[in-house]
Structures are given as structure tokens and as C-alpha cells.
């Protein structure tokens, strides 16, 4: 069961300051309208289907995208800033070395999220189903996962600062050389967690200890008889 995190002087909450863009121009892009290196600015887009496209270094700023389909698209180095994506559908999201600043993704499914070496700053993931999330080497600052399901989170060599998981189920989190500061698991559902090695140093709720005791003992090398 998920717990509601309480305020603590020892764990700072993420600082989310996104203001939904206004005064936007409606745009209905046709196939081929979006090219590598393009800048999309100040648009409201009902449907953006870029599945399978090669679009490295695409830039999206101050937009509202109601439905984004990006399965298999090459989005290396993409920059998404001050933008709301209402639904994201991407069985495979290829967005390594990308930049996400002041972004809200309000729902959808991502099977494999290739976000290694990415920068996420002021990002909200809401009501999403996420399979394998690869954040190796990423810098994750002021990020909230709210009411999400995460099957596996790889945060090796990543830096996490002010990250919370509110009402979010995490099945496994692992990685080495992860730098953790003000990561809050008190609102997370950890009842079915299998591995949690990558989140050492995070804040958990007192009642999580009962759920996690066998896992923590195993990770410490103790045998419980």
C-alpha cells in the first residue's frame, strides 16, 4: 500500500515550477513536417506521431502536446522545455543525452526508456506505466513520479537530487556509484519490491521497514532463520 509522505526537515521536496503554456498556435503536423534539428515553439498539437523517425537534436519549447507517439524514434539529444505532454506512447523511447526542463507528462506507457546521460530538471511523470527506465549517468533534479508503476529503474552512475515517488510502485531499482540527495520514498508502494540496491541513502517511511526487512537483511548478507 502506498503511504503519504510527510514533511521532514531532513528531506527536501522537489521544486516544481512548471506553468502550462498559454496563447499557443494550433498546429496539426503532417508526416514529414518534423525534421532533425527542428525547433517547435509555442504550439498546441492534438497528435504528434513521430514513431520510427530519425530526429536527433529536435527542440520542443513552450508547447502542449495532447498525444505524442514516439515508438522507436531516434530522439538523441532532444530538448523538451516548458512543455506539457498529456499522453506519451512509446514502447521504445530512444532519448539518450536528452534535456527535459519544466515538463509534465500526464499519462501513457513507455516500455523501455533510454534516458541514459540525460538531464531531467523540474519534470513530473503522472499516472504512467514504465517498464525498464535507463537513467545511467543521468542528472535527475526536482523530479516527481506520481501514481506511476516502474518495473525496473537503472540509476548506475546517476545523480538524483530532490526526487520523490508519490503513490508510485517500484519493482526494482539498481545501480552502482549513484549519488543520492533528498530522494523521498515515503509515498511509494514498496510492498512488492524485488531489488532496491540503487536507492541507498533515500528516505523511507518507518512502516516500510517491516516490508523491506527481509530484502535489507539479504542485501546486508544476513541469513534469517
Q: What residue ranges do the domains of the chain occupy?
A: 34-220
Tell me 197's DSSP state. G
As a whole number, mean pLDDT of residues 16-37 equals 94
Question: Is the Cβ–Cβ distance between 82 and 21 less than 8 Å?
Answer: yes
Q: Provide CATH code, domain 34-220.
A: 2.160.20.80
Least confident of 7-16, 167-176, 180-189: 7-16
What percentage of the chain exceeds 90 in pLDDT?
74
State pLDDT tens for residues 101-146.
999 999 999 999 999 999 999 999 999 999 999 999 999 999 999 9
pTM assigned to the model = 0.89
With cell 515508438, the residue in question is: 71
State pLDDT tens for residues 28-55.
999 899 999 999 999 999 999 999 999 9
Residue partners of 61: CB distance under 8 A and separation at least 6: 39, 40, 41, 42, 79, 80, 81, 82, 83
Q: Please give the pLDDT value at position 35.
A: 95
- Give the helix/strand (H/E) hosting 143: strand 139-146
Question: Is the Cβ–Cβ distance between 102 and 85 less than 8 Å?
Answer: no
Amino acid at each position: 500500500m502506498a503511504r503519504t509522505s510527510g514533511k521532514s526537515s531532513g528531506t527536501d521536496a522537489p521544486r516544481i515550477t512548471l506553468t502550462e503554456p498559454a496563447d499557443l498556435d494550433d498546429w496539426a503536423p503532417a508526416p514529414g513536417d518534423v525534421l532533425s534539428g527542428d525547433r517547435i515553439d509555442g504550439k498546441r498539437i492534438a497528435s504528434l506521431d513521430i514513431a520510427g523517425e530519425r530526429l536527433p537534436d529536435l527542440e520542443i519549447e513552450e508547447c502542449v502536446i495532447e498525444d505524442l507517439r514516439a515508438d522507436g524514434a531516434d530522439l538523441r539529444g532532444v530538448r523538451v522545455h516548458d512543455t506539457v505532454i498529456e499522453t506519451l506512447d512509446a514502447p521504445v523511447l530512444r532519448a539518450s543525452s536528452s534535456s527535459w526542463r519544466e515538463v509534465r507528462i500526464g499519462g501513457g506507457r513507455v516500455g523501455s526508456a533510454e534516458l541514459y546521460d540525460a538531464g531531467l530538471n523540474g519534470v513530473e511523470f503522472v499516472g504512467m506505466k514504465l517498464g525498464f527506465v535507463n537513467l545511467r549517468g543521468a542528472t535527475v533534479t526536482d523530479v516527481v513520479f506520481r501514481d506511476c508503476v516502474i518495473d525496473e529503474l537503472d540509476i548506475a552512475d546517476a545523480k538524483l537530487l530532490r526526487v520523490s515517488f508519490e503513490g508510485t510502485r517500484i519493482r526494482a531499482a539498481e545501480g552502482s556509484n549513484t549519488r543520492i540527495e533528498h530522494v523521498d520514498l515515503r509515498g511509494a508502494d514498496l510492498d512488492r519490491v524485488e531489488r532496491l540496491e540503487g536507492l541507498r541513502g533515500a528516505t523511507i517511511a518507518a512502516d516500510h521497514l517491516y516490508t523491506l526487512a527481509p530484502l535489507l537483511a539479504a542485501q546486508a548478507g544476513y541469513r534469517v532463520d
